[in-house]
């Protein structure tokens, strides 16, 4: 036995080590306590998760349209005209509900007449918003609507309020939706489309507080009412869904002014734009790849702000619209990082990692759980820009981790929302804590229940014990998206590094569903109802 100062120090070190081990053991035991999660029956006032929450965005920006959807004639890929069909096939698979076009900031500089008629006669213009690229207008209104038809997606057009006129917007609507014998409809027929298109979703301006004109909310509401007055319905075409250019993130004053000043009957929806910046700093947003856990943590923490922001705007809307007639559309959202090194800074090209997929799953869970008010959303953007679903390099094409989340979550489209209750464990880093778990659930028309689960903790699995009162089910199946690191991504050399797999971590235990949810994962489960064959 040691004696003297050295022995005392040794005993002290041993005591400290024992206490540390005891603390770690207790912490681990606490962390391993199952999460008690309940999927409640649908409320009496049943709510549907609108398919339009699963919308996308195609701005004339970088390589989204040109070199994305709209391929070079010499490119050796399947095409209809110049529409790239491998992209169409991939997006049809995930049931893209709507596609927003032509912007974005570009919308308030776009004049629709530049993009109709014989291609050779269309003017060349400069895209002053995005890299001063030359716009040849070969992709215009007819090409976009053909793309939407191929996708099976509803077109969502943004009218030019910032630099256009009321007459220009009204003419575009007549050109597309009227069947009367007028010069505009004759022009549409001459350009190859005899019948009206019947486009219903119309944004009246975009980011009118910023690139759409730097307007005050009071001024914009007067402008909106003037434009909306001349946004006419036409016999034979469905009524227009007039959509107000709404707030920038956490700006309740904009929403308050719009709801107070614009009659409910003049608007179908109100927009909200909210991006997730890894660092929270627009000057240095952070890289898309090669980041560490600290930047991962700040990204998902910033993503989770979406819940409080949506709730704040929804509460303001409830004050003026208690019957929830007006939809909230988060028609620009997603992760925005610094561009990839060596690429045009005006083209906003960034890689897409498992971190982005976890943000997408979390955000869609938030929208699903606010589906009484959030009835539309558009991820920015579909191809080669920001948090893209698809990246291309000449003939090569890859699906990003974010694409796979939309593949998983398509089961929620137009399904009946089911409330989910649980107390989330905490994910802690550097003295900060955020909820590790988020979820949403729905029941489809066949009676199958789907539960989408996201574990944001990159280091620790979660065990869930789930009760489902009032839900009769007999079997569970699922799919999972995860990888070794949150910074893993798909490259053109390794396009399937991050991909979906069957999930075997859920089982029926009596009337309960028991789930082991791996770290840094997105899982969607399907519960087969009693009486239904198959899974």
Active site amino acids: 207, 332
Phi, psi for 262 (deg, rounded to 5): -105, 125
Helix 166-177 vs helix 183-190: crossing angle, to nearest 10: 60
**Other C-beta atoms within 10 Å of 500: how many?**
19
- Report the distance separating Cα 417 and Cα 449, nearest Å: 10
Burial class for 206, CB neighbours closer than 10 Å (0-12, 13-18, 19+): buried
Residues 28 and 424: their CA atoms lie apart, in Å, by 16
Q: Are strands 35-39 and 396-399 parallel, antiparallel or unpaired?
A: unpaired
| Residue 374 near residue 426, CB atoms below 8 Å | no
**Nearest alpha-carbon partner for 369 in 331, 323, 409, 402:** 409
Read off the tokens for 14: 């041993």
Measured distance CA(348)–CA(104) in Å, rounded: 13
Q: Which two tokens stand for residue 130?
A: 């995005």
CA–CA distance, 29 with 45 (Å, rounded to integer): 40
With beta carbons less than 8 A apart as the criterion, state whether 465 and 36 touch: yes
Please tell me whether residue 323 adopts helix, strand or coil conformation: coil
State the sign of the Cα–Cα–Cα–Cα dihedral 237, 238, 239, 242. Answer: negative
Task: Tell me if 97 sits within 8 A of 54, measured CB to CB.
Answer: yes
Instruction: Quote the CA–CA distance of 510 and 434 in Å, as a whole number.
Output: 32
Phi-psi region of 399 (alpha: psi -120 to 50; beta: other; left: phi over 0): beta
DSSP-assigned letters across all residues of 169-202: HHHHHHHHH--SSSHHHHHHHHTT--S-----EE
Residue with tokens 């396009």: 495
Contact 333, 275 (CB under 8 A): yes
User: What is the DSSP track for 52-99?
Assistant: GGGEEE--SSTTSTBTTTB--TT--S-EETTEEHHHHHHHHHTT--EE
């Amino acid at each position: 036995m040691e004696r003297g100062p050295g022995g005392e120090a040794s005993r002290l070190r041993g005591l400290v080590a024992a206490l540390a081990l005891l603390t770690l053991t207790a912490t681990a035991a606490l962390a391993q306590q199952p999460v008690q999660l309940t999927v409640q029956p649908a409320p009496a006032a049943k709510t549907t998760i609108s398919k339009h929450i699963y919308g996308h965005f195609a701005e004339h920006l970088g390589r989204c349209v040109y070199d994305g959807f709209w391929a070079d004639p010499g490119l050796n890929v399947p095409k209809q005209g110049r529409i790239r069909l491998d992209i169409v096939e991939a997006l049809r698979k995930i049931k893209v509900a709507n596609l927003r076009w032509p912007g974005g900031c570009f919308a308030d500089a776009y004049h629709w007449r530049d993009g109709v008629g014989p291609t050779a006669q269309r003017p060349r213009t400069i895209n002053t918003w995005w890299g001063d690229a030359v716009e040849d207008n070969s992709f215009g209104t007819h090409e976009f609507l053909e793309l939407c038809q191929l996708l099976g997606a509803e077109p969502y057009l943004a009218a030019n309020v910032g630099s256009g006129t009321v007459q220009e917007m009204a003419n575009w609507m007549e050109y597309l939706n009227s069947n009367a014998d007028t010069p505009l409809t004759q022009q549409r027929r001459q350009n190859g489309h005899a019948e009206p298109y019947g486009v219903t979703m119309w944004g009246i301006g975009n980011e009118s507080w910023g690139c759409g004109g730097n307007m005050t909310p009071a001024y914009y509401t007067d402008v909106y009412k003037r434009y909306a007055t001349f946004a006419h319905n036409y016999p034979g075409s469905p009524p227009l869904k007039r959509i107000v250019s709404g707030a920038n993130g956490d700006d309740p004053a904009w929403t308050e002014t719009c709801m107070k000043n614009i009659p409910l009957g003049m608007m179908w929806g109100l927009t909200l734009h909210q991006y997730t910046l890894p660092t929270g700093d627009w000057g240095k947003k952070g890289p898309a790849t090669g980041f560490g856990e600290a930047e991962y943590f700040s990204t998902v923490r910033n993503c989770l702000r979406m819940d409080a922001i949506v709730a704040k705007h929804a509460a303001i809307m409830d004050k003026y619209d208690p019957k929830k007639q007006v939809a909230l559309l988060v028609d620009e959202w997603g992760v925005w990082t610094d561009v990839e090194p060596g690429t045009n800074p005006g083209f906003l090209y960034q890689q897409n990692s498992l971190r982005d997929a976890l943000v997408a799953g979390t955000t869609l869970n938030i929208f699903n759980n606010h589906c009484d008010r959030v009835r539309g959303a558009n991820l920015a953007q579909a191809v080669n820009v920001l948090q893209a679903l698809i990246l291309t390099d000449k003939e090569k094409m890859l699906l990003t981790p974010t694409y796979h989340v939309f593949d998983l979550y398509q089961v929620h489209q137009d399904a009946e929302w089911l409330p989910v209750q649980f107390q989330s464990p905490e994910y802690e880093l550097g003295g900060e804590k955020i909820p590790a778990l988020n979820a949403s659930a729905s029941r489809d028309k066949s009676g199958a229940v789907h539960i989408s689960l996201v574990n944001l903790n990159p280091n620790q699995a979660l065990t869930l014990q789930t009760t489902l009162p009032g839900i009769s089910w007999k079997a569970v199946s699922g799919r999972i998206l995860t990888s070794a690191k949150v910074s893993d991504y798909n490259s053109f050399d390794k396009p399937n590094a991050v991909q979906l797999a069957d999930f075997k971590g859920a089982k029926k235990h009596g009337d309960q569903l028991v789930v082991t949810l791996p770290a840094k994962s997105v899982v969607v489960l399907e519960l087969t109802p009693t009486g239904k064959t198959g899974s």
